[in-house]
Amino acid sequence: MERMQTIKNSFKNNKGFTLVEIGIVLVIIGIILGAVLKGKDLISGARFKKFTQATHLWTLSTYNYLDRFGRFPGDATNTGIIPVAGNVKTDFTNAKFEETPTNPIVIGSFSFYALLGNDGQVPARNVMVICPDSACATTFDAEQIKFIQAFDTSIDGLADGATGIVRCQTAAPQTATYANWTVLTVTSPAAAPAADACAAATTKAMVFYFDRAP
C-alpha cells in the first residue's frame, strides 16, 4: 500500500515542460539546423572554389607553355591558334611543369573534362572547353551546372552563360578529341545564347574564351 502511494505521488510531481523550456529547446534546435545548413553551404563553396582554381590552372599552364616555348600547347605550326589536330596532352606532358593540370578535373565525386582548341569562327579564337563527359556528348546535371555557374560568376560577374568570355553551349562541339585534349567548338559570338543559358539538361559544354574575347 505504501509503495502504491509513493508511485501516485511521483506522478503528481511530474509537471512536464514549461513554455520557457520548450522555447529554449526550439531555439537550440534552430541553431543546430542553421549550423548544419551553413556547413553545407561552406562545403559547396569550397568545391566551387576548388573547381575554379583547377580551371585557372589550365589557363596559367597554357600561358606558361607559351612563355617557355613561344607557342600554345598543341599549336605545332605556331599560328597562334590551337588546332583540333594538335596534341595538347603530349605538349603538357613533355613540358614537365612542376604543377601540371589534371584531366579530368575531379572535385569529390564530380568529374569535368577539359579541352583546348578554337571556336571555329573567322577570325578563330582560342578557347578552353569544359564538358561533363570526354566526348562532350551529354548535358550537365543539376549539380554539375552549379560549378559552371560559379565559374562564370567568378569571371564575368553573372552566371548567365550568354555574355562575357564564358559561354554555355547547348550543341555538342563539332570535334572533341579527348586523347589529345583538343576541341573544335561551333559557338558563334554573333549568335550568343539566350539569357540564363547555363542550365541543366540543356548545356553540353562551357566555352571559356581565355585568349581573346568573342
Residue 25 is predicted with a pLDDT of: 73
Q: What is the DSSP string of 56-105?
A: HHHHHHHHHHHHHHSS-TT-TT--SS--TTS-HHHHHHHHT-SSPPPSSE
**Where are the domains positioned within the chain?**
23-208
3-state SS of the chain: helix, strand, coil percent to 5?
A: 40, 15, 45
**Sorting pLDDT into bands at 50, 70 and 90, what band is 181?**
very high
Collapsing DSSP to helix, strand or coil, 208 comes out as: strand
Residue 190 is predicted with a pLDDT of: 46
Grid coordinates given for 48:
566551387
pLDDT in tens, 61-114: 999 999 999 999 999 999 999 999 999 999 999 999 888 888 999 999 999 999
Cβ contacts of 125 within 8 Å, gap of 6 or more: 118, 119, 189, 209, 211, 212, 213, 214
d(CA 206, CA 167): 6
pLDDT in tens, 122-137: 899 999 999 999 999 9
Burial (CB < 10 A; 0-12, 13-18, 19+), residue 203, is buried
pTM (two decimals): 0.79
Tell me the percentage of the chain whose pLDDT exceeds 90.
59
Say what angle helices 88-95 and 19-69 make with each other, to 10 degrees: 90
Q: Which residues, in sequence order, are bridge partners of residue 183?
A: 117, 176
Q: Is the pLDDT confidence value at 196 over 90?
A: no
Rounded mean pLDDT of the chain? 84
